[in-house]
Structures are given as structure tokens and as C-alpha cells.
Chain A
Amino acid sequence: MRRTAPLSLAMIALLGLSACGSGDTGAGGSLQGEGSGADCTIPGPVPVGAALSLTGAAGSYGESQRNGLELAAAHLNEQGGVTYELTVEDDQTDERQGITLFEQFTDDGVSAIIGPTLSTTAFQAQPIAQDAGVPVVAISNTADGITEQGEYIHRVSLTEGQVIPQTVAAVTESEDLENVVVMYSDDDAFTESGYEVFAQALEDEGVEVAETLTFSVADTDFRPLLTEAAKAEPDAVIVSALIEAAIPLVTQAREIGLDVPIVGGNGFNNPQLMTDAGEAAEGVVVGAAWNSAATQNELNTDFLAAYEAEYGKAPDQFAAQAYTGLMTIDAAVRAECSGEPEAIKDGLGTIDGLDTVLGSLTINDARDAEHEAVVQVVTDGEFVALD
């Protein structure tokens, strides 16, 4: 009873503010433009919503993605003709929030939605956009079946199924693999599906798997598992894990004297691997959709410079894919010179050989992205393409 005032005030403030907060949707201006391609001009800004995990377990990915998107929006708006009103929202790595955000975006009438960060949330949230007829561009979902959810769901991120077989084939050839140990975190959808692709690819290449070890996404001490792995005397250790686990895993493997090549999936593709694991990262092979050094084109160099200038650090794959996501939407908008959802959806279907920081990007009939993946090996603290 005695000290209710502060809280009551806080609640009133929240309620009051929230009342004014809503209702400013639908910025003025038509979304129907004139001209075509580079000359296309649309009077109103095209509203694009992005539902990302900025806080919570996947917070580090979401942050990179937001940076990539905001950089892309800045570049596009500078370029003119078509401007974008980008709304980045946080799903707190909570599925419920993801669903709510998608619903809010469709209710607010955005023209396209980017996200969500995690594949599990994608299965829960993207059907809402599908039902509402709003095109979605997934920028980090790698699970199978994402785009099968409907004709409005697209992605610019390569699936594990596209990257990993290439990686495995390349390593098998260069390292003469016969006998490997596979490790993965089994309580995460991304790493588990990555594992499945690895297992299949290894079987296709005729490599024997001596042992399969699992851990939890939150684990950071891998010594017992690595000791177990070392007993099998493998030619290589294949790992499907997120970057949080990758760095301690690589460091500890070297520490206990396991010096064979370590092969990782998308999760390993992060500049942090070299900065933080240092020498231990030498010889780690990573297959990925994008890499700062391996993708050599002018767009990529500009992107790297701009990102460094803006955020003071090198971009990772998530930032690059996010950047590409909005750029792809822009290409789709310009294709029909319209910011309407239906037009963007049609436009996305026409993306073929678009120049992006990821390389030449095509969206195929299954609405999945196709572009070249890079297989790279850490040499002298840099990612270098594996020959």
C-alpha cells in the first residue's frame, strides 16, 4: 500500500504512451512507380519489416543482420528513385514474439518482410505472411522446407544441403579422408539439420564415420568429447555447431593435441574464428555462402569498406546475407517498378544472375537462392579458398 505511486505512474505512462504509439502506419505516397529498372521512381517509401532476434540466445546473429539491413537501406535511399522505410523489430529469440511481429507487419501493411533469424521461428511465423499475401525474404534460414511453405516465401540464404556437400567433397579430395569423427549440437535445429547433411555427404563420398558425438548448443567445455574423439584417431573432425561453440571447440581440440583438420559448416563462417581462436584456427575448413576474401567482386569490396566504416568491425556472413536480402527486394521492386506486395513477389521470381555481395544470385523455381558457395581454409589467420 505504502509505495504504489512509482509503479502506478509507470504503468499509466506505458499505457498512455502506447495509445499514441499506434496508428501512424501507412506512410503517405503511392507505391506504384514510373519507369523501370534503375530509372524506376516510386513516390512513397516502400515499407519493409524485419523480424530479427536482437536479444536472447540468437542476439549476436540478429545484431549483424540489423547492421547489414540498415547499411543496405542507407545505400538504397541514398541512391534514390525508390526509398525504403525499414522497420527492424526484435523477436527476443522467442517464437511467440516472432509470430506476433509477422502479424503486426502484415496488419501494418508492409510490402515485404525479412526474417526471422531462426528456422524454427520461420516455420511458425512465415505462414502468416503467406496467408496475408506478403512476400518474405529469408536471410538466414537454412533448414529444408522453408520455401515449401508457400509461394510468397523466398530466401537468399543457401541451405546446408547446397553448401555442405561441396565442402565435404573438396576436403575428402584434398585431405584423403577415410575415417572421421562427427560432432554436433543435437538440441538446435540449425546444427542438427547441418549434421544430417554432413552425414549424407560423407556417406556419398564413401568416408567412414568412426564416431558421432553430440553436445548442447550452450556447451563450452568440449574436452571430454574431444578426448573421446581423439581415441578414434580420425583423419578429420567434422563439426556442425554455431560460432559460440566453434571457437572453444577448436581451441580445446588443439590444446588436447587433436591436430587433424576440423571441418565446419555455416556456423564457423565468422571472422571471430580467427581473431579469437588464433593459431588454433589454422587449418579449419569452412564451407559457406559468403566470405569476405573469397567472394571477389567490386560490390563486395565496397560493402566491406562501408561496413567497417559504419560499425568498426568486419561483417560476417549474416550481415552480408541481410544486406543482400534488402538489395534483392530492391531488384524485385525495380523489376516491376512497384512497391506493392504482389509486384514484389512477382519481381522476386524474376531474379536471375543478380550481382550481389554473395556473388551472382538467382532465385530458382523453388524460390531458393542459387549462388556459388565457397570452400575455404584458415591459413595465416585468413580465410583462403581451398583448392
Chain B
Amino acid sequence: MQQLLNGLFVGSIYALFAIGFTLVFGILDRLNLAHPSVFAASAFIGIELVEVAGLPWWAALPAVAVVGGVLGLVVERVAFRPLKGRADAHFAGLISSIALGGMIIALLQWRYGPDTRRFPAGTFPDGQLELLGARFTILQAAILVISVVLMVALAWLVARSRLGRAMRAVAENPTAARVLGVDVDRVTATTFAISAALGAVAGALFAMNVNSAQLGMGSAIELKGLAVIIVGGMGSLPGALVGGLLLGVAEVLAVQYIGSSWRDLVAFALLFGLLILRPQGIFGSRRLREV
């Protein structure tokens, strides 16, 4: 039970990170490899906000989301928009986002140095909860709740709102969306901003949860995030949540039953098996190709 909960908590972070990742992929068909850098940057910026500006956690998180959103706009503007209409936009976007991601990390090192940093003690109320004999912190529970709430809110946004309709139209066919009067550039930028804001919240929560923020924290979670969006189905929001939780639980079970050295193999075995058996992922639907 304890281990199951541990798995869910680990998984909720994976999910939160992957939701932003998969949003951009689902709507814009682009893999944004600067996402892990935004994840790391927001953790460091969040720490500074709490440490220097003295913000409490409930104010720091939205602030971090805003900072993340701005970073997302920068990423879109610098690394993706100039590539619009290029035949190799797919590969080029990977590279440009890697390049920009590297620059963000370099700037972080300039600003904060290479050392591990952390939120000051007591940023988030300490305290333990107990459920069915399993112990966990309030923060862990909060992360799970925040992940689910953000996911539901985002799913609602995409399914119901005007912006969501525009997003889906762009996902379906950008050219047609433009003809129908959708401002594709604005929708694209907004999508990036939302995606990055989610990644930023994930980064800050992650740093709080494990009491550590490192320059390399994004790349450590990057592969897991990729695995999650494949498992859940590229572009599927509920898929990212379920995929994240599933991966978290699977890893924990692997520790318990197979051995900790093989834990990381689980993500890739899961990923590989699913790609072979069901490439569209658990929740993904196969896209029809127009001939």
C-alpha cells in the first residue's frame, strides 16, 4: 500500500511534466525539447521567489506558472515560429529547441551557479497524513491533487472553450483553421505558454517534493516524460495522466519485485511494448491520413 502510494506520487509528477509535453505535441505536432529546461528553470526561479521575495507557496506557484508561460512564449517565438513552413520543420524544431534549452540552462548556471539548490525549509506546511497504514506528506497529496485538477481543467479548456476549439482546429488542419478565421499564430503561442506553465508548476512542485533543484533535473525526467506520452498516447491529456501514474506505479513494483537496478528498464520496456502493440497509446486515436 505504501509502495502503491509512493508510485502514485512519483507518477503524478511524471504526469504533470508530460501533460505540457503532450499538449504541444498533440496540437502542434512538435516535440519541444526545451520543455525540460523550462522545468528546471522554473524550479530555480520559484526558489528565488520564495527566498528573496518571501512569497508563500500559494503565491509562488501561480507566479512560477506565469514565468513558465512567458518562457513558453519565448521558446515558441525563438525556436519554433521561424521554422514555420519549412520542409524540415520537424527535425529543425527538435534541434532549435535543444539549442534554446541549452542556453536556458547556461543562463541558470550564470545566475544561480552549478550547485544544487532547494526551497527554504517550511515553504510548504510540513505534516504527515496516514491512509490505510501508508504515510505520506501533505505536499505529496497536494501534488497529486494539483496534477489531477490541472489535467481536468486543461481537458475542459480544450474540449469546451473557444480557445480549445481553435486549438483542436489547428491540430486537425492548420491551413483549414486559418481559412476559418482562426489566428493560428496566436493559438500556437498560447498552447506553448500553457504547456510551459504546466511544466513550470511541475518543476517547482518537484523541487519542493524532493528538496532539491539541479540544473540537470529536467534531462533526468525528460526520458520518463517521453515514455509517458507514448504510453498514454501522443497528444492525449488523460493519457498523460494515466500514463504517468502507471509508470510511477510500475517503477515502484519493479523495485519491489524485480530489483532496483532494473527499475529504469521498466519505463523503456513499457514504452517499447506499447509502441509495438498499440502505437497510438492507451488513449490515443489513430489519425486518419488524408490522401
Any chain A CB within 8 A of the CB of B251?
Answer: yes
Contact at B137–A227, with CB atoms within 8 Å? no
Distance (Å) between the CB of A214 and the closest chain B CB? 5
Q: Does B153 contact A (CB under 8 A)?
A: no
Q: Is the CB of A224 within 8 A of B211?
A: no
> What is the bound-complex CA distance between A218 and B216, given in angstroms?
8
| A244 contacts B214, C-beta separation under 8 Å | yes
Flag if A223 contacts B212 (CB, 8 Å): no
B99 to chain A, nearest CB (A): 13
Q: Does the CB pair B135–A215 fall under 8 Å?
A: no
CA distance A251 to B216 in the complex (A): 20
**Chain A contact residues (Cβ within 8 angstroms of B): what range?**
20 to 34
Out of B3, B109, B137, B212, which one reaches A224, CB within 8 Å? B3
What is the total number of residues of chain B having a CB less than 8 Å from a CB of chain A? 38
Contacts of B118 in A (CB 8 A): 247, 276
How many A-B contacts at CB < 8 Å in the complex? Answer: 87
Provide the main secondary structure of the chain B interface. helix
A218 touches B220 (CB 8 A): yes
Complex Cα distance A134/B11, Å?
Answer: 51
Interface-side segment among A57-65, A140-148, A337-345: A57-65
Which residues of A sit under 8 angstroms from B263, Cβ to Cβ? 215
Q: Which residue of B lies closest to A250 (CB)?
A: B211
Main SS of chain A's interface residues? helix
B10 at the interface (CB under 8 A from A): yes
Among the stretches A31-39, A252-260, A298-306, A368-376, the one at the interface with B is A252-260
Chain B residues lying within 8 Å of A80, measured Cβ to Cβ, are none
CB distance A228 to B3 under 8 Å?
Answer: yes
Distance (Å) between the CB of B266 and the closest chain A CB? 12
- A172 beta carbon closer than 8 Å to chain B: no
Task: Report chain B residues within 8 Å CB of A247.
Answer: 116, 118, 211-212
Judge if B114 is at the interface, Cβ distance under 8 Å: yes
* Interface residues in B1-45 (C-beta closer than 8 Å to A): 2-3, 6-7, 9-10, 13
Docked-complex contact A224 and B251, CB < 8 angstroms: yes
Instruction: Find residues 110-166 in chain B having any chain A CB closer than 8 Å to their own CB.
Output: 113-116, 118, 121, 128, 135, 137
Whether B191 sits at the interface, judged by CB under 8 Å, is no
Indicate whether B179 reaches chain A with its CB closer than 8 angstroms: no
The 20 listed contacts between A and B (C-beta, < 8 Å) are: A55-B109, A60-B116, A213-B255, A213-B260, A219-B220, A220-B220, A221-B13, A224-B6, A224-B251, A225-B260, A228-B3, A228-B256, A244-B116, A247-B116, A247-B212, A248-B211, A255-B137, A272-B116, A276-B118, A276-B211
Given contacts A223-B9, A224-B252, 11 further A-B contacts (CB under 8 A): A55-B114, A60-B115, A215-B260, A215-B263, A220-B214, A221-B13, A227-B6, A248-B212, A251-B211, A252-B210, A276-B211
